[in-house]
Structure 1
Amino acid sequence: MKKRFRSLSVLPLILICLVPMISPETSTAFIPTVWQWRDPLPQGNPLSSTAFGNGAFVAVGSGGMVLTSPNGIIWTLQTSGVTEDLSEVVFSNGILVAVGKAGTILTSPDGAAWTSRISGVVDDLSGVAFGNGNFVAVGSLGAILTSADGVVWANRKLTFNSPPAPSLFGVAFGNNTFVAVGHAAILTSTDGVTWTSQPVEPTLELTGVSFGSGSFVAVGKFGTILTSVNGITWTPQTSPTSQDLSAVTFSGASFIAVGGSGTILASPNGVTWTLQASPTPQDLSGVTFGGSFVAVGDGGTILFSSDGVRWIARSFEPAEWLFSAASGNNTFVTVGASGTILKSSRGISWISRESGTVDDLFGVLFGNNSFVAVGASGAIITSPDGVSWASQQSGTANDLFGVVRGEDLFLAVGAFGTILTSANGVSWASQQSGTANDLFGVVRGVDLFLAVGASGTILTSANGVNWTPQSSGTDDDLFGAAFQDDTFVAVGAFGEMLTSPDGSSWTSQRSGLSVHHLFGLVSGGGFFGVGMEGTILSNAPLTPTYGDILLNHAAFNHVEAISEGGIAKGCLPGLFCPGDLVTRGQMAVFLARALNGGADPTGACAVEPFSDIPVADPFCSHVQFVKALGVARGFPDGTFKPLDSVSRGEMAIFLARALNGGADPAASCTTPPFADIPASNPFCPHISFIKNTTLPVTLGFGDVTFRPADTIIRAEMSLFLGRAFLGIP
């Protein structure tokens, strides 16, 4: 059965959860202060806008988030220096300018180093454009600012007697004219200073505007599309969607508009629009063109397209919310909505496991050599290894949000102040908490149980039976807690984080990274926090599995994932050898493990599968396994040639068969998949097959070639295997 590499995310908001913790043997006090994204990658905060300039893409979003990419495929987190939401970014006149909440304006020469500029206003800024030697920024309640250099800004705020000045969401420049659009508003100006209001319907709401091929195109609510050559006279166009449209861009040859539920529209002229297939259900908020198209949106979504027609995800697609995490026996486990369970050996790559339930799972712990997870309607499931799970009876119908293990006691907390205790995780007894507030998380310190919950509730108990309320200093809901190095840590709504040395005196901290609620926290070589939209944060050092595949390596995520999934095990201790050629024998090993749940085939190799693969050959069982599935068929002379290097064309055949149940794809290949793969090429059906899977296994090269005769190195193979079997973009 194919396992799927998971990142996580969006359901309606549920106030939940606990996180247990395993206390390490160190004694130095430790407070988590520096956090890194672990899932989804590269990050999970909503992205609102993207631009291209100086040879790089830049994306901005919630919480001051900034990412950069040289190609729209590999993205790097940058530091903006602000925590305000950033609404739009543009590159013009040699610099990047980003605008956002509360009058925020930033500039950067390269997307990496950012400088905050004084706007002189507190209005939210939503759009920015450049023309006639001036930047123009627009925003709420008629906010308009201008600047010649992006550094010094002048306030040009509109004054309306009645009705109040409209909020403006987008601005563009073309035909010597600025056009700003917003709520029941279209404004035009030649200099950004003097503006003329154009007549519009009072219910019209436009959220984006662009200029191209001699025409303005504005988009908005309910799929609205308008066009104009001068910004004054506008023509409604037929839209193929009723979804809200957020942004529009022009490539020089076509317009692309994006919006709600992953909507993508394309048009050669702004008049005739076609709905394109989208790889995401997430709302899209921004789109740009820089040799290729890049679109961004909720959940950290990043999409890439070379032509505006075929789009692929460049960020891990969110799935379910995560509510809790635990570690034990060198294994991390996190649980979440709809019975979601993910397992990881190192906290870097996560593999989904079957829980046997569709109930939301809110808490998980490791204790007494077992993982115990609790959830909706009193659900309790247990597992010795995080892989195989069994259902247990809790004796309650109340939702259970958290569970922990003391020296000789399991303790679970839940709705309406529910507290249960158990000596073995099977038989449970109810205890009095003294509160009717929901309890979302519980943890065990050196000699103290600590429970957290709604409205900043914190309770402590020495024995799990008698409980004492404590003052947290916050009214925010607290969802999870952990204990490490003589320090309690509680997390909750809006990234709230509290620390305490004794469970009674608390100090407010913040993750400083995510705007999302944090529902769970676990310790193990550092803290891991999990939360809404699949957020996984960690303050633990991110140590690569292999010394030759570092964090900045293009194949880092794929190599980590196929190692976590059991598909690859390195070449030497601590090394992956990314530049080594892949042999046919090694390819058989990779495919056998991938098709066997990440495990080597079991059983002796009794019969040689090919004349040059004797039963004593270390590849024998793997080659026999993939041969039996129809994936490997050898050569006409009955040999397999395990030491020969694998070409890209051969790789395409192996992967196409592996993904197609051992069968070759349909023989017809009417459309060449790449410039050097004509329809008559014998590899064409297989290459087309792996290119046109839901998540494309192959992207080819920048010159639209595939190069089937080139040999494959281990780093490249990790990309193909990660996409094909673990769903990694």
Structure 2
Amino acid sequence: MVYQGMGSLYETIWGFNVVLPTFSGIAYGAGRWVAVESGGSVFISQDGLQWILAASEQDLARSFGPSVWGESTPFGLSDVAYGRGRWIAVGSRYNPLVPYRELQSLIFTSLNSLRWDFEALESEVLLSGVAYGAERWVTVGTRGTIFTASSGTYLLWERANSGTATELKGVAYGNGRWVVVGDEGTILTSRDGLRWQRVESGTRKRLFKVAYGGGRWLATGLDGTLLTSTDGLRWQPIRLEKGVSPVSATYANGRWLAVGDEGTLITSPDGIRWQTISSGGGPRLELVAYGGGRFVVMGTLEALTGSIILTFP
């Protein structure tokens, strides 16, 4: 079903005889899109419109080999990023006997988005976000976990001291600084990705994601929380219209685009003044990214019956 409106192409995929994923991460690089889903599969697209399965859960699981938990231990992917010719997807293995209990953090790397190599890091940690910047990778997760690796032929991951045990959700790099966000309003910042300091956010709400663009940081959070900063150190809240609840945001071509619950789509030239495109009804829009001349938004349909992909222009 296709909807045309406001100069945008809205393309919805419904789940009749189709196994539709629940997307958890999306990124653009080297002329293609890559998306990962919580069931452990990887999808690719050249234009953001037509998507194909690049690697299934079974494909990735073959790289595990035998383990003390068994070869069929379920796992999921949480996020994906691109940098310096390499894709990285992160997630965790789960204990099938204890739902939602993480067994081990996972990192998959790929040079072409088709063949993925596996690396396990630490037990009982779920990796939630990953980003690349300034010749360095940073991934974050539960228990205040931050792993970092310098870019090179081989990635050697080391754990950085975050100074917190709070669950960390999102990470981004911009203007010479790393910023990490998480539960209880946690915001951490670092110049080198190794030494971190906590800064005051002014909220105790869970923060989902963080992004940088146009000389400004934006952090999205629970119950419509939207924070902004010009330096990553001093943050202030942005008041939005009632019913507008952004979950993720990105910046490109001189404007911000944020997406979220109940069909939230809002845009801003400066991260301060926001115009509502849609809100108050519709699917939960969870992911937004820019690449190849267009924005791509991903979310879930009502009752989890399918997934939705929006692209514009």
Matched with 1:71 is 47
Aligned match of 1:89 in 80, 88, 97?
80
Query: Does the 8 Å contact 1:240/1:274 carry over to 2?
Result: no
CA contact (8 A) 1:118 1:153 kept: no
Alignment pair present for 1:188 and 2:189: yes
Structure 1 segments of 4+ aligned residues over 4 angstroms from their partners: none
> Which residue in 2 is equivalent to 1:39?
17
Give how far 1:110 is off: 2.5
Q: Distance in 2 between matches of 1:276 and 1:175?
A: 29
1: CA distance between counterparts of 2:221 and 2:78? 16
Deviation by residue 1:31-51 (Cα, 9 ceiling, x = unmatched): xxxxxxx634xx412111211
Does the Cα contact within 8 Å between 1:212 and 1:252 map onto a contact in 2? no
Change (3 A) 1:141 1:248: same
In structure 1, what is the equivalent of residue 155 of structure 2?
151
Give the deviation of 1:244 after TM superposition: 4.0
Is the contact between residue 246 and residue 258 of structure 1 (CA under 8 Å) also seen in structure 2?
yes
Where does structure 1 lack aligned partners over 5 or more consecutive residues? 9-37, 307-729
Q: In the superposition, relative to structure 1, how do residues 7 and 204 fare at CA in structure 2: closer, same or farther (>3 Å)?
A: closer
2:14 matched residue in structure 1: 7
Q: For residue 685 of structure 1, what is the aligned residue in structure 2?
A: none
Q: Name the aligned partner's letter for residue 167 of structure 1.
A: E
**Residue segments in structure 2 that go unaligned for 5+ positions in a row:** 1-11, 62-73, 93-103, 301-305
Could you tell me which residue of structure 1 aligns to residue 223 of structure 2?
A: 222
- Structure 1 pair 70–142 and aligned structure 2 pair: CA distance change class (3 A): same
Question: How big is each residue's C-alpha offset from its partner over 1:559-597, in whole Å with a ceiling of 9 and x where there is no partner?
Answer: xxxxxxxxxxxxxxxxxxxxxxxxxxxxxxxxxxxxxxx
Measured after TM superposition, the shift of residue 91 of structure 1 is: 1.1
- CA gap 1:87/1:222 in 2 versus in 1, 3 angstroms: same
TM-score norm. by structure 2 comes to: 0.79
The yes-or-no answer on 1:49 pairing with 2:25 is yes
Indicate which of 304, 307, 312 corresponds to 1:300.
307
CA contact (8 A) 2:141 2:169 kept: yes
Match for 2:171: what amino acid? V
Deviation of 1:171 (Å): 0.7
Structure 1's 115 and 262: CA in aligned 2 closer, same or farther, altered over 3 A? farther
1:274-293 to structure 2, matched below 5 A, reads 274-277=275-278, 281-290=282-291, 291-293=293-295
Looking at structure 2, the residues matched to 88 and 247 of structure 1 have their Cα atoms a distance apart, in angstroms, of 13
Q: CA offsets per residue over residues 329-353 of structure 1, 9 Å max, x none?
A: xxxxxxxxxxxxxxxxxxxxxxxxx
Aligned to 2:4: none
The aligned amino acid for 1:176 is G
1:170-197, Cα deviation, whole Å (9 max, x unpaired): 1111121100011120000011111101
DSSP-derived class of the 1:261 partner = helix
Task: Tell me if the contact between 1:227 and 1:234 (Cα under 8 Å) persists in the aligned partners.
Answer: yes
SS in 1 for 2:90: strand
Provide the identity percentage. Answer: 35
* Alignment of structure 1 residues 130-529 onto 2, 5 Å: 130-149=132-151, 151-160=155-164, 165-184=165-184, 185-201=186-202, 203-277=204-278, 281-290=282-291, 291-298=293-300, 299-306=306-313
* 1:98 matched to 2:86: no
User: Match for 1:39: what amino acid?
Assistant: N
Structure 2 SS opposite 1:240: coil
The secondary structure found in structure 2 opposite 1:103 is strand
Distance of aligned partners of 1:200 and 1:113 in 2 relative to their CA distance in 1, 3 Å threshold: same
Q: What secondary structure, in the 3-state scheme, does the structure 2 residue paired with 1:238 have? A: coil
Deviations 1:404-441, CA, capped at 9 Å, x for gaps = xxxxxxxxxxxxxxxxxxxxxxxxxxxxxxxxxxxxxx
> Which residue of 2 is the match for residue 59 of structure 1?
35
Q: Which structure dedicates a bigger proportion of its chain to helix?
A: 1
C-alpha separation in 2, matches of 1:302 and 1:108: 24
- Separation in 2, partners of 1:206, 1:230: 18
Q: Aligned with 2:201: secondary structure? A: coil
Q: Is the 8 A contact 2:201 2:234 kept in 1?
A: no
What's the secondary structure of 1:88's corresponding residue? strand
Q: Deviations over 1:354-397 (max 9, x none)?
A: xxxxxxxxxxxxxxxxxxxxxxxxxxxxxxxxxxxxxxxxxxxx
Shift, 1:154, TM fit? 0.9
Q: What number of residue pairs does the alignment pair up?
A: 267
- The alpha carbon displacement at 1:6 in A equals 9.1
| Equivalent residue number for residue 130 of structure 2 | 128
Q: 1:86 to 1:247 in 2, by over 3 A?
A: same
Q: In structure 2, give the amino acid aligned to 1:118.
A: A
Contact 1:47 1:301 in 2 (8 A): no
Deviations 1:36-85, CA, capped at 9 Å, x for gaps = xx634xx4121112111111111111111211110011110121514522
Do the aligned partners of 1:52 and 1:58 also contact (CA within 8 Å) in 2? yes
TM-score after normalising by structure 1: 0.35
Query: Alpha-carbon deviation of 1:159?
Result: 4.2
1:49 and 1:287 in contact (8 A); partners too: no
SS at match of 1:208: strand
In 2, distance between residues paired with 1:188 and 1:103? 23
**If you compute each CA radius of gyration, which structure gives the higher value, 1 or 2?**
1
Deviation at 1:203, TM superposition (A): 2.1
8 Å CA contact 2:13, 2:308 repeated in 1: no
Q: 1:212 & 1:125 partners in 2: Cα distance?
A: 24
Letter in 2 for 1:294: V
Cα deviation code 1:202-256 (max 9, x no counterpart)? 5222101100011111111111111111111012112235454321111132111
Amino acid in the other structure paired with 2:238: Q
Task: Name the SS of the counterpart of 1:116 in structure 2.
Answer: strand
| Aligned residue number for residue 116 of structure 1 | 118
Change (3 A) 1:190 1:260: same
